Structure 1
């Protein structure tokens, strides 16, 4: 005798279908997630430090570029030098004492060149530097409406980039061997109308005396002395720190850098300080 077939209840069928669907969903959720996209790194931050301090070589190179551009009728540049600090060392008195009767200062200032001379019948040496009065000079005039005065310092032998004495001896056979080249590069220490007057020389020279030690008279230096000029480049009215002028196309331009002078000093050839002056 055959047993009757029992059909599953509808609720059981629905429950089974739900379990199958849930298992499929769990399998989909368990699938591994795709790897994360690589992070985009930001470019490294480059710290920009202060510009290096200008020395004699760097300043003369900048003036050479400005002189060449001016002679070619191009923009002489120099704007990027405004605000740069400088420490210029240059030799003086390499060939011996200054000629007798050389004026170191006067109503219109000096010649803007350092020198030394004998004093007290050879018992002392006198180092002098009298800034030139460039207040009314065409090189400085109109540089800035706020400037009241300008004192000039030449950078002699601009073809020599080192701060020591030249190593070329005098050659009497050379044409014009004893002729002195005109000065073409210099620094103008400018003073504002409402600024401090402590740093102005007003025609007075920087002076220092090397005196005898006991009964021994001072000895003439074999490698001269050193002048130190320290400060910060400033700008003319056009924003440039260097201004060039020339009387004609066949003459080397004269270039002047506008500066705020913080320190003037005399040193011996070994760098030993002898004397210094600061505005304060």
Structure 2
């Protein structure tokens, strides 16, 4: 009797062990947790505001298309984009307008010192292009058009050049014609209050103490900020071929919200206007 109980106990134990093995084999294997996803690489989104280099790159592309007789299809990507354009001027000394009047409306920023050396006057008078500009006849829909030349459009830097050319070393060749400008338009019927193209912008740097006013070490900078606007054909940049031996002349449509003069060496704002 005792022997039978031992047999039954061993049999039961074997059955329990076998059952546990079977259960273990039937249990589904859970898959390993997937690794966390790799963080997505940040996309190189375009800068929301175009600077001098980006503006001139767009002008170069438009000039190339015009020279080749190619018309780009699709919407104009520049319409409504904001910009901040800097134009260095007076890098090699004072400037006077061709007529001798510093406030001549020719769309070129200048500086000139007074006869006694006590003041330096900075001026900008946009040129009147209501009847047409370098890119052709005036487009429809604008009461006035005023322009500012983009000097040295082949140079992307916002600062004065690090070189200088003495007149004795300059070759006797004709100076290249200006081929790039920013054009500020006032639509027909728009308010005349505060429009940037209808006024002359002036700032006077005065001497401190008895010494003459210090000449700028790296000239000055004109700052133009605003947004691009399209012409009647919705294009922002209009170009015209004047000669096959010269680059096309281009005009960039803009609504200017801020105009400023900066010190070329420090970047300090000397004066600013918000005519828009």
TM range (shorter): 0.7 to 0.9
Tell me if 1:248 matches 2:255.
no
Question: Shift of residue 99 of structure 1?
Answer: 3.3
Could you tell which deviates more after superposition, 97-106 or 59-68?
A: 97-106
Task: Give 1:254-269 correspondences, 5 Å limit.
Answer: 254-269=249-264
Tell me if 1:215 matches 2:210.
yes
Size of the aligned set, in residue pairs, is 238
CA distance in structure 2 between the aligned counterparts of 1:104 and 1:114, rounded to whole angstroms: 9
1:87 corresponds to: 84
CA distance in structure 1 between the aligned counterparts of 2:44 and 2:197, rounded to whole angstroms: 40
CA distance in structure 1 between the aligned counterparts of 2:129 and 2:186, rounded to whole angstroms: 11
Q: 1:181 aligns with which of 170, 176, 183?
A: 176
2:16 corresponds to: none
Q: 1:272 aligns with which of 244, 268, 272?
A: 268
Question: Shift of residue 175 of structure 1?
Answer: 2.3
Could you tell which deviates more after superposition, 191-200 or 70-79?
A: 70-79
Aligned CA distance change for structure 1 residues 50 and 195 (closer, same or farther; 3 Å): farther
Q: 1:66 aligns with which of 62, 65, 71?
A: 62
- Answer yes or no: is the 8 Å Cα contact 1:91–1:225 preserved in 2: yes
CA distance in structure 2 between the aligned counterparts of 1:222 and 1:230, rounded to whole angstroms: 25
Could you tell which deviates more after superposition, 196-205 or 238-247?
A: 196-205
CA distance in structure 2 between the aligned counterparts of 1:90 and 1:156, rounded to whole angstroms: 7
Higher radius of gyration, 1 or 2? 1
- Answer yes or no: is the 8 Å Cα contact 2:96–2:111 preserved in 1: no
Gaps of 5+ in 1: 1-31, 33-43
Question: Shift of residue 213 of structure 1?
Answer: 1.1
Question: Shift of residue 205 of structure 1?
Answer: 1.6
Task: Give 1:1-280 correspondences, 5 Å limit.
Answer: 52-75=48-71, 79-99=76-96, 101-105=99-103, 110-119=105-114, 121-138=116-133, 139=135, 141-143=137-139, 145-170=140-165, 172-176=168-172, 180-200=175-195, 204-269=199-264, 270-279=266-275
Summarize deviations over 1:90-148 as a string: whole Å, max 9, x none. 21100100137533445xxx1111110012521100000110001101536442x3211
CA distance in structure 1 between the aligned counterparts of 2:236 and 2:89, rounded to whole angstroms: 25
